Structure 1
Amino acid sequence: MQDITSFEQWQERLTQTDQCVLFVKTDHCSVCDGLYPQVAALESEYPFPFYRVNASAVPELAGQLSLFTAPVVLLFHEQKELTRFARIVPMNDLKKRLEELVQWGNVDHE
């Protein structure tokens, strides 16, 4: 998972790919620390990049994305947020939405 260290970097990454996943954590968050390895393990199964950001270190990103808790897993397609999982992330639901994101990428949306 690639780290995002500024809001500008996030905006640049978002414009460079049609689809991606953003994992948002904060400092001293045991739920974040427990969920991260599970989400990171999925990265090799999908054809789009996964990014990680610490909202404590990049508060502008948290503000711009209206993130009020952590962890949060966001799925993006064509620079738009498609899905948001906050705090409790059922892995089966996340995998289902990731598969849907793959399908969105395989369909021509003109």
Structure 2
Amino acid sequence: MEKIKTYNDLLEKIKNEEKFLLYIKSEGCSVCEADFPKVKEITDKNNYLAYYIQADEMAEAVGQLNLYTAPVVILFYNGKEIHRQARFIDFLELDYRIKQTL
């Protein structure tokens, strides 16, 4: 899973990628660290493009995407957000939603 470092890079991904998962984590968040490999396993298994950002390093994204908790998983499809889970991630639901876009 590749890290996106700037808000402009994130906007480019949303504009140009057909579909991808965005994982948002924050510094010192133990749940974020525990869930990260589980989300990565799901995206790898489905051969699904995935990126992550550190919320505390990208304040503009936090405001624009309403990322006021962590972790957050967002699925983008054709430039639109089609699914979001925050704080408590249902991995079966996430896998199902990813498969819907394949």
Does the 8 Å contact 2:4/2:52 carry over to 1? yes
* 3-state SS of paired residue (2:56): coil
Pairs within 5 Å for 1:9-48:
9-48=9-48
Runs of 4+ in 1 over 6 A off after TM superposition: none
The root-mean-square deviation of aligned C-alpha atoms, in Å, is: 1.0
**Alpha-carbon offset, residue 47 of structure 1:** 4.1
| Matched length | 102
- Secondary structure of 1:66's partner? coil
Gap runs ≥5 in structure 2: none
Deviation digits for residues 52-107 of structure 1, max 9, x if unmatched? 000000111111101110000000111100000000001111111111122xxxxx
Work out whether 1:71 is the aligned partner of 2:75: no
3-state DSSP of counterpart to 1:56? helix
Indicate the structure (1 or 2) with the bigger Cα radius of gyration: 1
Question: Secondary structure of 2:69's partner?
Answer: coil
- Structure 1 gaps of 5+ residues are 103-110
